[in-house]
């Protein structure tokens, strides 16, 4: 039996037998495996704790989202449902028949597009928070003063659910626009034409409003003669209204 130069513990000078060496190797391997298992379990434990915390954070995020969504939808006095808005469409084409709609103003008075045959209609899709709409308001007020007496209808349609502070709050304040917000808008921006409410945004979505204000002119036959998004001058609007009024007189 060849020795490997190892000595038996407690027996100085005696070399280990092959059997003893094997037994010792088995013990060492077992201890090493135990240590590795222990290290792995510690790593797994910290990973599992991390995963549990992550799952809890994600659950908290989901709960927060559900709460904020519900709180927004339940805002008291809101005129329109934010969960029905489907913005970003494509404006309807000039020359196509204007889809009919019947909408109420904040006081419950009903307005039907189909009932306006014989009268050109200028539609403005606006948001109470929209700075471009605010900038457009003087031109619209002028149009109202100049063209309503000549038979033109001017209607503004609330096309976004949020209140006046939506934009100034960096779109964090999701408080819904209320009846008093419409009154504030009318008095601040000299609005003397009907402001209609589209509570489920069916008309807004149908008309493909992708920016505020969305502007349409519907001629006296109910055909779209002008479609535009963004601010437009009094001159460009009045030119179009003059044209449809002239066509209406000819027709």
- For other proteins, the closer of residues 129 and 155 by Cβ is 129
Q: Two tokens at 248?
A: 């209406």
**Cis omega (within 30 of 0) for bond into 213:** yes
- For other proteins, the closer of residues 20 and 173 by Cβ is 173
- For other proteins, the closer of residues 88 and 138 by Cβ is 88
- The least CB distance from residue 81 to other proteins, in Å, is 9
- The least CB distance from residue 42 to other proteins, in Å, is 4
Question: Which residues are near other proteins by CB under 8 A?
Answer: 35, 39-40, 42-43, 46-47, 50-51, 54, 57-58, 61-62, 64-66, 68-69, 72, 82-89, 162, 166, 170-174, 210
Name the packing angle between helices 131-147 and 234-250 (round to 10°): 40
- For other proteins, the closer of residues 69 and 180 by Cβ is 69
Q: What is the DSSP string of 84-133?
A: G------PPPTTSBPPP-EEEETT--EEESGGGTTS-EEEEEE-TT-HHH
SS3 assignment, position 7: strand
What is the distance between the alpha carbons of residues 169 and 189, in angstroms, rounded to a whole number?
20
- The least CB distance from residue 93 to other proteins, in Å, is 15
- The least CB distance from residue 209 to other proteins, in Å, is 11
């Amino acid at each position: 039996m060849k020795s490997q130069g190892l000595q038996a513990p407690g027996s100085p000078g005696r070399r280990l037998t092959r059997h003893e060496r094997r037994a010792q190797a088995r013990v060492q391997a077992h201890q090493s495996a135990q240590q590795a298992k222990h290290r792995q379990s510690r790593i797994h434990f910290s990973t599992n704790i991390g995963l549990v915390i992550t799952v809890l954070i994600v659950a908290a995020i989901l709960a927060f989202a559900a709460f904020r969504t519900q709180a927004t939808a339940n805002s008291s006095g809101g005129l329109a449902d934010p969960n029905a808005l489907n913005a970003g469409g494509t404006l309807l084409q000039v020359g196509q028949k204007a889809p009919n709609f019947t909408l109420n103003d904040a006081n419950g008075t009903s307005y039907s597009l189909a009932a306006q045959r014989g009268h050109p209609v200028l539609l403005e899709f606006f948001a109470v928070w929209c700075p471009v709409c605010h900038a457009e308001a003087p031109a619209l007020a002028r149009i109202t003063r100049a063209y309503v007496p000549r038979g033109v209808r001017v209607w503004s349609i609330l096309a976004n659910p949020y209140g006046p502070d939506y934009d100034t709050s960096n779109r964090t304040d999701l408080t819904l626009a209320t009846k008093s917000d419409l009154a504030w808008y009318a008095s601040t921006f000299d609005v003397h034409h009907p402001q209609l409410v589209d509570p489920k945004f069916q008309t807004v979505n149908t008309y493909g409003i992708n920016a505020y204000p969305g502007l349409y002119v519907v001629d006296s036959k109910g055909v779209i003669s002008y479609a535009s998004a963004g601010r437009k001058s009094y001159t460009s609007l009045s030119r179009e209204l003059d044209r449809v009024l002239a066509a209406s007189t000819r027709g």
